[in-house]
Structure 1
């Protein structure tokens, strides 16, 4: 065994023996003879915080990541002391703290080890910058797998990988390239069918090694700050993700139009080009809700200005678009052009709102406008000022959403692509250098933007999208995966990134459909649309230097395919909106990798392609050219082929036919999938009948449909409708029970049930225990009936 003395000789420092223990309510403190203090906070019976101080001093306790509404409270907390250890016992777990080394071991109440320190906490002084480099090493358990970490462009299972978090403008990034645009220092470990999660809440550059350097060791470390991490126990992955998402928060419900299809390009200008694109969507009957203005709408790329040559009357243009159902989203970057005649620059300069270098001068960097200064969004006064700048854009001109780009922050023509490390930040009253603030800069910009857009959009809901993010950014903003490339490899990357982001707490996410850089073929574009319509955020965006990338930019076959899938997305809007409701209220990711869906099936542990959209739809994109089908894994259970109604038993690989107009798509048996009629934009038509696609199951399955006014805040006052369904199928009967909550009155009066896979011929129907005639419920063949929306119990029987 290596002793602490030997380890210190190698440059690392480790805790010595514990000399003091004290308890302060839910916080437990262990102090060692060489000045290390471990604070263990019991958040819940299965969620803990571990925080280490050196030289007996903790840093001020502050985090941008933690939600104010995070759930706190436990049922049991006992501490026992033996000769060699302290034992902390909750209602679900045991934490062993070794008296000699301060190492910890976490086990369940039966003694099965979930997570344990290898060398545990260690540190070394950072002689260049001061403070410590803090490290934690854990024992990698037998056959352990790792997931999470945000938008890493690598295999979904991180076993054997090393990744780092330093938010970076990574144009045309490649597979396995790291770091990228987001820093989400959260991972899930899975072994022996038991899952846990670790969130290392440290905003400095962080590194994670998942048994890469040493196959039996997992470690994480930071260039500064504290060793401060949260531990969540499952044992299900779903429970771990739920706990992490609860801690870092979820957004409020977005307006439903944001879940429609969006079209963007760098850049649509002048005004007549924007209107021409919008008209083409309507002429070709391709649904679309959002159209984007990139940096060319500005005067010399100055934020909060308009190029009057390109857009002589922006208010009228935005109104004309709105009259045709389009919502306009405008880009805003953080760089403010140094120009004494530019009012935004002058206001920030006069109020001392710009970031400064270590010795005092304002931080200067080149971005699109040229030489710029940059607001310090970690200063609450600056955030309030920035929010106020949106008044004209939102309240007067009528822009419906704001897109924050280049907020890593990106700086051109410097090797680091960003600010120098000596730049100073307020950090909400905890002054620091850019080493600490870099990873949260983009999130705080998005937060300030959100506060402004929300204020001036009220009583409607805001919409913000950001490129850069740190854990917790999802409370304020949606996001996308950055500047990808029009290649088949990037189609694969986008699929994995969105799955990973969703289980990392950030579900309102998508990719640039078709690729931002370079030109997709019609086939690649069609396949990417087929994937993108099953992502929470659905937007085509391209760099514009290689030609057009609208749905009609290829041949008629591709246009027709693209239209049909966008129409399918609009049909599925009530399903998608219900997914979002569950995300905001129950911390449930909108997209789930197969390992999240069924961790007990070891076949899912290394699957990358297939995912669950919501709760009951299985999607598997085609990711190779010239494919007429593909092999895919059908997870355990029974599934209906969406296109053919063929019933498949899961738990196996299967060849699935998937010509260019088809994506492998399966529905879980027993599911009730809500649909709206196709509309060209959200709110175009009043829904006259809710359609429910009912997939028979011999057994029980539950489904739900959430609805409200689709915008505004009445839903927070109880004006929503939540229809919960319990489907029970038997050999010759089907029972559907409906339970409704909320006071919202939907526009439709009837629900049409389309049946799939009924194993009997319908002979009798009872509604709320009263037999009705088959004519009264408009029975068509054996396939559909129409009911009053208020039914409580439907009993169908046959032979």
Structure 2
């Protein structure tokens, strides 16, 4: 028990007893003797918001993270008063608020405690800045596990860790380094087979302590702002992640080419270098869809300009690259060079769009161009202006995507690497200092960029990628994990970061394949590409200062492995596109850590390496040098080795032998995996059949395939194709049922079905109850069947 003298010494203040309460619709207000108000809002039966103020009233309720288009509603809400507490009950949970001190516990309907306050809400007045340092502590039981928080460079399970959220340019960061580029103050707790989530929507510098300081306490706090958090109840991790993703929003479908392979370096210039890289990909038959121009394409690093010496005719170059299937993506940073002859600077200066210091002068900082001023992207007028600046790049020159970097915001040669904390921001009509706006600066830049690219790319779809992000940024942009290093440890980190980003609502993420800083060995590069093709965003990027990092910078073996795995990614494009569609339609993460996939299996709680790619492919990267095999955990169920088609029974750890040109990849029994032919870029080939790899299972399994025109917005008018397959395997037969939705006519007319693992020889085949003739000997050796795509039921009958 903490004594009062300790409390006074710490300077922490606590709510006193409840003196009044009232209910307004979905919100219940509790007032204490010492002017604290707790507002509890029931958004859904399993989603409750808790908001505290210590000043007797609430400030304007504003958040950049919450998706305003989301509908909320609950089935049941009842508030009752008991002797020592108030109870709020929905159809999923009960929340009990103690009358003595506002401490809260949340229980399921069987009265099992899901989450309860330890000290609960407390605060300390911020002497230096005014306002409060707001704190929350929860009790944690033995065996509880914690996940989430975006791209932290540490193991997946955060138990025992203390983490910090403050967007920081961490060049060449190391394992466990804090903080990093992104701020996702959302975590998932798992205890006693029940999952819940907490989203602490506070943009100030925040901290999370998962039983690090005290073994039985999980706490979070912020250097300012409000104690404002959302509680999500599972009990499945799936439900928590989906609710959080709904609350903070989902992206649009990217054009299919964005899911291809991208090549990047700091920097490809001049023009003939860019073309040389592009033609080398085509010559070596390594598929590639996008090539990036880093800061050297600009005139003295001035955004929205071109270096005419390196790129005399950008429009012509971009068009020629496009003829060869390459989309051009350019970098745009927030720092605008102070130069009275530079049109972007002049416009922003005339219109007063730059961030100012508390005492009035413009905030000035050094970045690549030298001394810069920085637009205030928290001002809607500035965002609108910024969006308009993309007209020339996108409409006239034909650039297909924009890459936002340095937007933490990063400033060079200053101790804190960023803006001074007294910089002022408009914050969409809620004026504040940089302490509050810092963590969302990058997201608001990406948002303004997205609106510009979208406006000028129309009727095609936009593509934006950002380095810094706050919860909700996924509505506008994809991201990557920043300036990593060419080491085996960083390969391990990348694997975990992308899994963690996927369950933190920000799925469209990848790492710099091969590492950004330093130079990978051929072996490390090969192992990284083998992982990277299973990440939603797939790009090689390097600082290029230690040598080249194109696939051909290494030996023949590495070139062949790179080709083999990028080919595999291009074959799996319909599978990837379907994953993406399920992410935006249903909030299902594209990569699933094993604990997400099967939280009831305690063996999964501490696994880092293995993950489920989409719904039906299990991947385990090789993360150590000189390894031709590894131990891995195969989750419960039946899985086929992708390379050998051997069946493995899961729920155990096994040793897997591999080769240099393989990593362990398994496919779930019963799955139907769609494949395209290998193309050098998306849309290169027209083809008349879709390949379906069907993995036999004794039992039922569902698989889906989403397709549309691969770009544009016709899919929003119902012009898409959604195939639902159900495979039903029995001892001597296999039934495949197909249900179709959508108005899009796919360009192919046939399916080529490869049957894998059939336990019987096929005697007869029926399509829609009609027996068809087939070449039996051919079928026995090939195991594949080509059939018209217009079928409803396929029936294989065995001997």
The two structures have a TM-score, normalised by structure 2, of 0.99
Distance in 2 (alpha carbons) for counterparts of 1:549 and 1:266: 11
2:782 corresponds to 1:750:
no
Q: Secondary structure at the match of 2:491?
A: helix
What residue in structure 1 maps to residue 106 of structure 2?
Answer: 106
Q: Which residue of 2 aligns with 1:727?
A: 727
Find out whether 1:648 has 2:652 as its counterpart. no
Measure the CA separation in 2 of the matches of 1:658 and 1:504: 32
The Cα shift of 1:141 comes to 1.9
Question: Residue 300 of structure 1 aligns to a residue in which SS?
Answer: coil
Report the alpha carbon displacement of residue 769 of structure 1 after superposing the two structures with TM: 1.4
Q: How far apart in 1 are the matches of 2:520 and 2:404?
A: 25
Q: Distance in 1 between matches of 2:374 and 2:227?
A: 30
Runs of 5+ consecutive residues of structure 1 not aligned to the other structure: none
Aligned partner of 2:362 in structure 1 is: 362
Distance 1:534 1:777 in 2: 36
Contact 1:777/1:787, CA 8 A, preserved across alignment: no
- Note the C-alpha offset of 1:778: 8.0
Separation in structure 1 between the aligned mates of residue 704 and residue 530 of structure 2, nearest angstrom? 25
Which residue is equivalent to 1:136? 136
Paired positions, count: 799
1:195-344 equivalences under 5 Å are: 195-344=195-344
Q: Which structure 2 residues correspond to residues 20-59 of structure 1 after superposition, within 5 A?
A: 20-59=20-59
Q: Given that residues 45 and 74 in structure 2 are in contact (C-alpha distance below 8 angstroms), is that contact kept between their aligned partners in structure 1?
A: yes
Tell me how far apart the structure 2 counterparts of residues 295 and 142 of structure 1 sit (CA, whole Å).
Answer: 50
**Partner of 2:429: helix, strand, or coil?**
coil
Q: Structure 1 residue 659: deviation in Å?
A: 1.7
SS of aligned partner of 2:527: helix
| Cα distance between partner residues in 1 of 2:272 and 2:165 | 42
Instruction: Give the aligned partner of residue 609 of structure 1.
Output: 609
Matched, 1:82 2:82: yes
Give a deviation string over 1:278-299, Cα, whole Å, max 9, x none: 0000011110000000000000
Deviation digits for residues 11-43 of structure 1 (CA, Å, limit 9, x no counterpart) = 100000000010000000000000000000001
* Partners of 1:71 and 1:247 within 8 A in 2: no
3-state SS, counterpart of residue 694 of structure 1: strand
Cα distance in 1 for partners of 2:727, 2:6 equals 64
Is contact 2:211–2:218 with CA below 8 Å preserved after alignment?
A: yes
1:635 is aligned to: 635
CA distance in 1: counterparts of 2:55 and 2:20, whole angstroms: 14
For residues 40 and 183 of structure 1, what CA distance do their matches in structure 2 show?
25
Cα deviation per residue 1:378-410 (whole Å; 9 max; x = unaligned)?
Answer: 000000000000000000000000000000000
Which residues of 2 match residues 751-770 of structure 1 at below 5 A?
Answer: 751-770=751-770
Q: Which runs of 5+ in 2 are unaligned?
A: none
SS where residue 781 of structure 1 aligns?
Answer: helix
Map 1:348-359 → 2, pairs under 5 A: 348-359=348-359
Could you tell me how far 1:424 is from its partner in structure 2?
0.3
Return the alpha-carbon distance in structure 1 between the equivalents of residues 4 and 235 of structure 2: 33
Question: Does 700-709 or 5-14 show the bigger shift?
Answer: 5-14
1:227-626 alignment runs, 5 A limit = 227-626=227-626
How far the C-alpha of 1:775 sits from its partner, in A, is 4.3
Q: C-alpha displacement at 1:269, in angstroms?
A: 0.2
1-structure distance, mates of 2:356, 2:43: 38
What is the DSSP-based 3-state SS (H/G/I as helix, E as strand, rest coil) of the residue aligned with 1:428?
Answer: helix
* Per-residue deviation, 1:781: 3.3
Report the Cα distance in structure 1 between the residues aligned to 2:79 and 2:739, rounded to whole angstroms.
45
SS of the aligned residue for 1:356 comes to coil
What displacement does 1:82 show? 1.1
Q: Give the superposition deviation at 1:68.
A: 1.5
Name the structure 1 match of 2:177: 177
Instruction: Using structure 1 for the length normalisation, give the TM-score.
Output: 0.99
Kindly report the root-mean-square deviation, in angstroms, between the aligned alpha carbons of the 2 structures.
1.1
Q: Distance in 1 between matches of 2:778 and 2:240?
A: 46
Q: Where do 4+ consecutive residues of structure 1 move more than 2 Å? A: 1-10, 775-782
Maintained 8 Å contact 2:761/2:780: no
